[in-house]
Copies of this chain bind each other. A is one copy, B any other.
Amino acid sequence: MPKKDILVLQDLLLSNAQAAAAIRAELEGRGILAVNLMSSPGAGKTSLLERIAERTAGGLKIAVIEGDIETERDAERIRAKGVPAWQITTGGACHLEAKMVGRVLPSVPPETEILFIENVGNLVCPAGYDLGERLRIVLLSAPEGDDKPKKYPQAFATAQTLVLTKADLFPHLPFDPAKAKAEALELNPKLEVFITSAVTGEGLDELVAHLRRKREEILGRA
């Protein structure tokens, strides 16, 4: 990149990092665990959140920020589950930035325990932007193929949790979950990996238990 572009990118990342740090401090004070969900388009982020909403109804208090280029569709799907949701449309930008998230925080109810931030569907750009989260989850859906971690390494290298989705399609695909997992662990040996299906429910109770445990570990609150 030419030097001028590098300087502008550094400015952007610096101002993003400052906004992210402020969000992290605010949410920590409020006892809210922020979770940044990243994946390709159509890997199943919104479906996963719908299933989590069903499993936590009446218990864990969740809220969702939805990031998309265009449309309110995902926030509407989450609200239909009785969960507070706000749609951010980036109008073309390929990832959320911390300041977009910051504008929504005053609306997040005080009783919230986990705030999910569903990023724009993109396995590349979101990985470079801290949104003030304490937990970063990357989804890889079976139809995308088990060769994706090393082709899109940053998302897998910077996440703490990997969720392999659409396990119900395993019988119809050449996807090898053990290969996908092994490749992701080569990039990031500390990744915790879950195999899930939003159709059959496989792995979802384990994932919800993981989220509760992470909140307790990270924020020291049950």
Contact = CB atoms under 8 A, between A and B. Distances in A.
With most chain B CB atoms within 10 A of its CB, the pick from A70, A71, A152, A173 is: A152
Contact of A69 (B11, B68, B152, B168): B152
Interface in A74-127: 92, 94, 120-125
A23 to B, nearest CB: 20
Quickly give the copy total for this chain: 2
A40 interface: yes
A157 B5 CA distance: 28
A42, A124, A125: most-surrounded residue (chain B CB, <10 A): A42
Given A8-B5, A69-B124, A120-B124, A92 B141 contact: no
Contact of A70 (B121, B122, B128, B153): B153
A24 interface: no
Query: Which of A8, A143, A168 lies at the interface centre, i.e. has the most chain B CB atoms within 10 A of its CB?
Result: A143
21 contacts: A4-B11, A5-B12, A8-B8, A40-B41, A40-B144, A41-B144, A41-B151, A41-B152, A42-B141, A69-B151, A69-B152, A70-B152, A70-B153, A71-B151, A92-B154, A121-B123, A124-B125, A125-B125, A141-B143, A143-B166, A169-B169
A90 B123 CA distance: 14
Nearest to A144: B42
Contacts of A41: 40, 123, 144, 148, 151-152
B73 A151 contact: yes
A5 B154 CA distance: 24
Interface in A135-175: 141, 143-145, 147-148, 150-154, 166, 168-169, 172-173
Interface in A3-55: 4-5, 8, 11-12, 40-42
